[in-house]
Amino acid sequence: MQVKKINHVLDWTVEFHNRLAANFEQLGLSSDKRCAMLLDYLSGYEGKLAADVASFKILTSSNALNTWCYEYFAENPELIDFESLSADMAHDEQQVQNYLAKKHQQVIDLYQYLTERAEIEDCKDVLSQILLTEQNALQQMMQSANRLKDV
């Protein structure tokens, strides 16, 4: 996927969340019960995040969506190549949490970068809303995962 405009960034973000959801769902099939519960929760939450980001695209003006922003992905090509957790290995809850935090932090860093550099106010607004959504989602997922440990 080539990411050159804000429109593409939103598409990439939706794909990112959908791929995480699918990866977590697949891993849940071969995990122990506690980890499977966590993975099921995360899969559902990632699917919801994908839908939330897709709705931003519908509500955003075409001027904002067509803003160029290719430099971040040019400098961070690892974002394009999605690295899933392997279903061939057993993963515990802590490994899943670490993976989740790492992947979401990459997305948060992307949106912080784009928000800081946005010149069109409408574009800056949508990017900052998505940034806040991503930050809150990560916090909520991590808190829920930690609560599962306490059970």
What single DSSP character describes residue 60?
A: S
In the chain (151 residues long), the average pLDDT of successive 10-residue segments reads: 88 96 91 90 97 93 86 84 71 90 96 94 94 98 89 70
Residue 90 pLDDT: 67
Specify the DSSP element, H or E, that contains 3: none
CA-nearest of 15, 18, 16, 38 to 28 is 38
State the pTM of this model: 0.92
Domains detected in the chain? 6-150 (1.20.1260.10)
Burial pattern 91-113, b for ≥16 Cβ within 10 A else e, equals bebeebbebbeebbeebbebbeb
Alpha helices by DSSP H, 1-151: 6-28, 33-59, 62-65, 71-75, 93-117, 121-150
